[in-house]
Structure 1
Amino acid sequence: MNPASPIRIALVDDHSLVRDGIRALLAVKPSFEVVGEAEDGPEALDLCARVMPDILLVDIGLKEMNGLELTRLLREQYPQIKILILSMYDNQEYIATSIRAGASGYVLKNAPSREIIAAIEAIANGGTFYSAEVALKLASKKPDETELTPREIQVLVGLAQGLNNKTIARDLDISVRTVETHRLSIRRKLNVDKPAGLFKYAMEHGLMAR
């Protein structure tokens, strides 16, 4: 990014009032430029393809696909775009999943405006940023041998949706054998393999939030 150029920002939230508020907040900074808005995942993907922002502010609770799923897709398709999660949830699993998905920061919607601005500036400069409450959640997180890898999470979500190995392999552009390997790893770590059990786990851990 050219230091003399404004930081190009796009907003993804399914509430227009929230987007209006964020846009008004960012308007006070001449170094920020809001280049687009979207209210759901598919719109966000289309927006990124058209305007290619530097930073995308993403809410977790989106229509069509949740913000965590969107983050994973964006990091795969447009790795140059930085993702800042802006959410009302301080759930530890959401936070950890956002990091695994590739987000560069996580700020709560009730954070002071200066914190949101600081997060954008830090991420634009190649850093990361987490709200104070979020940082405390991360600090209190204990190492977990059952923690899934980003690819295992993608396979788990597919299995939780009732998809078979072949369909998951096609959707993720990997081999069926690789899906089977991930499935065995998921079963070993979680001690669950049936779609109903995987769906329950995914919901409880914020992997299939609305």
Structure 2
Amino acid sequence: MEPVIEIAAIDNDQMLLEGMATWIAGVPDIRLVATAPSVADFLSQTVTARIVLLDLNLEDFTDPVDNVAALVHAGFTVIVITVVPDLSYILATTEAGAVAYVAKTSNLTNLADVVRAVARGDSPLTTEHAFWLGRDDRPDRPELTPREHEVLVAYGRGMTVDAVARRLGIAAGTVRTHLERAKQKYAEAGRPIRHRGQYGERIREDGLGRERLPGPGSNPPARTEEQGPLTA
């Protein structure tokens, strides 16, 4: 008898979750043991499953790359599922550690095959995933130093210069210097940063920000009052 593969699902579509649970109940080797409408709710649970089906675009407007990174950091294996494919996020979530991508238009038998492959330790490439990875036409990215990368990501996510300095344990003036250097490198690459919001645009375009910023604790840093709103 094949061992039972336990999975969890994070999706705010309750009808989809109920339908998935009904379907999986008839699959002898796969069991849905936990569901949640958001990554935060999921991570607050004690879950035995290590494979997670994650909706790419949750209604709480959390960043898909951050969601994948948080789950991977917590030790879960992530399969991304979505209705509307977003090329930039499919590429970035793959780089963030998602092992597979399945369109919600795909049939459930295909999803089961992907789950089984992932359980074996494979990273199955579906037809849709291969198609979107093949369309990676993102522009060349400037070569940033590790510190420039950290500063750019933190500032691009909405933190103030002073908050970035405290987070990284450096002076505010040093933060400004790193931002200016990163800004210059982007200008030299033909992708100038002309206003505050474009720092966030660049980190999303280039799939940056998957790493946990230095700081106390073992979890990815939560947003605080020191941080402004995320850029659109």
Is the structural similarity TM-score above 0.5?
yes
Give the counterpart of 1:61 among 36, 57, 60.
57
Distance 1:147 1:84, change over 3 A: farther
Distance 1:13 1:147, change over 3 A: farther
Distance 1:158 1:72, change over 3 A: same
Preserved CA contact (<8 Å) 1:90 1:133: no
Which structure: greater helix fraction? Answer: 1
* CA RMSD, Structure 1 to Structure 2 (Å): 3.6
Preserved CA contact (<8 Å) 1:108 1:131: no
Equivalent pairs counted in the alignment come to 200
Distance 1:209 1:194, change over 3 A: closer
Preserved CA contact (<8 Å) 1:86 1:108: yes
Between 38-47 and 199-208, report the one with greater CA deviation: 199-208
The one-letter amino acid of 1:10's match is A
The one-letter amino acid of 1:94's match is Y
Distance in structure 2 (CA, Å) of the matches to 1:120 and 1:166? 44
In structure 1, runs of 5+ residues without a counterpart are none
Distance in structure 1 (CA, Å) of the matches to 2:53 and 2:231? 17
- Establish whether residue 164 from structure 1 lines up as the match of residue 164 from structure 2: no
Distance in structure 2 (CA, Å) of the matches to 1:53 and 1:209? 34
Distance 1:168 1:33, change over 3 A: farther
In structure 2, runs of 5+ residues without a counterpart are 209-229
Distance in structure 2 (CA, Å) of the matches to 1:120 and 1:186? 40
Give the counterpart of 2:124 among 126, 129, 140.
129
- Establish whether residue 70 from structure 1 lines up as the match of residue 67 from structure 2: yes
Secondary structure of the residue that 2:33 maps to in structure 1?
strand
The one-letter amino acid of 1:7's match is I
Counterpart of 1:92 in structure 2 is: 87
Using the TM superposition, give the Cα deviation of residue 168 of structure 1 relative to its aligned residue in structure 2, in angstroms. 4.5
Counterpart of 1:51 in structure 2 is: 47
Distance 1:209 1:143, change over 3 A: closer
Distance 1:18 1:153, change over 3 A: farther
**For each residue in 1:86-128, what CA deviation from the matched residue of structure 2 results, as whole angstroms up to 9, or x when unmatched?**
1113222111111111111111110121221111111111111
Preserved CA contact (<8 Å) 1:161 1:195: no
Distance in structure 2 (CA, Å) of the matches to 1:114 and 1:129? 14
Distance 1:162 1:54, change over 3 A: closer
Pick the structure with greater CA Rg. 2
Secondary structure of the residue that 1:51 maps to in structure 2?
coil
Secondary structure of the residue that 2:44 maps to in structure 1?
helix
The one-letter amino acid of 1:137's match is W
